[in-house]
Amino acid sequence: MDELRELYQEIILDHNKNPKNFGELPDANHSSEGYNPLCGDRIKVFLKVKDGLVEDIKFTGSGCAISRASASVMTTLVKGKTVQEAEELFKRFHDLVTQSPQAEVNLEELDKLAVFAGVREFPSRIKCASLAWHTLIAALKEKQEPISTE
Ligand code: FES
């Protein structure tokens, strides 16, 4: 498990350093802003949704390594998926990070989401990792007011 933890740490660091889908999306038709009141970090998620499909997704904002990596991983997972699949991914992510740190993790089923299993041990980090996902759901639901991780 230590090797796995190191691998996950590397993936998080890499996504933080070279975030995927970072930037604005001029032709977005859904967007939302989320913030973490614990640190004041903010993130914006932009989506181009057509016929129930997330054709494109990007994010901007500043935050810690975990929040940035989580946003980057989230965009790679959601891009090209249906809105329903995106909501299911959110639910799987949410179930993962809010379960007991001792709970068994099904790596195959979780795929890339598994890299965030480690945050379960650090309650304040759960909010960092969740920021992009909550913002994604708010964008899909067209919430205009900024959403908070609280
Ligand atoms: Fe602000 Fe992690 S410390 S989002």
Sorted by where each begins, the domain ranges of the chain are: 2-142
Q: For residue 82, count other CB atoms closer than 10 A to its CB.
A: 14
The ligand 1 atom at the shortest distance from the C-alpha of residue 66 is: 2
Task: Please determine, for residue 56, whether its predicted confidence score (pLDDT) is greater than 70.
Answer: yes
Q: Could you tell me which residues come within 8 angstroms of residue 105 by beta carbon, excluding any fewer than 6 positions away?
A: 96, 114, 117
- The confidence score (pLDDT) of residue 31 equals 96
Among candidate residues 9, 143, 13, 123, the one with its CA nearest the CA of residue 72: 13
The ligand 1 atom at the shortest distance from the C-alpha of residue 43 is: 4
* Cα–ligand 1 centroid distance for 93 (angstroms): 18
Q: For residue 108, count other CB atoms closer than 10 A to its CB.
A: 7
* Cα–ligand 1 centroid distance for 126 (angstroms): 9
* Cα–ligand 1 centroid distance for 92 (angstroms): 21
pTM of this prediction? 0.92
User: Which 8-state DSSP code applies to residue 56?
Assistant: E
Q: For residue 86, count other CB atoms closer than 10 A to its CB.
A: 25
Mutate to test the pocket of ligand 1, among 35, 64, 119, 133 (most ligand atoms within 8 A of CB): 64
Q: 86-141: per-residue pLDDT in tens?
A: 999 999 999 999 988 888 888 777 888 888 988 888 888 999 999 999 999 999 99
Q: 99-109: per-residue pLDDT in tens?
A: 888 888 887 77
Q: Which CATH class is domain 2-142?
A: alpha beta
Nearest protein CA to atom 3 of ligand 1, as residue: 64
* Torsion sign over Cα 120, 123, 124, 128: positive
Residue whose structure tokens are 């350093």: 17
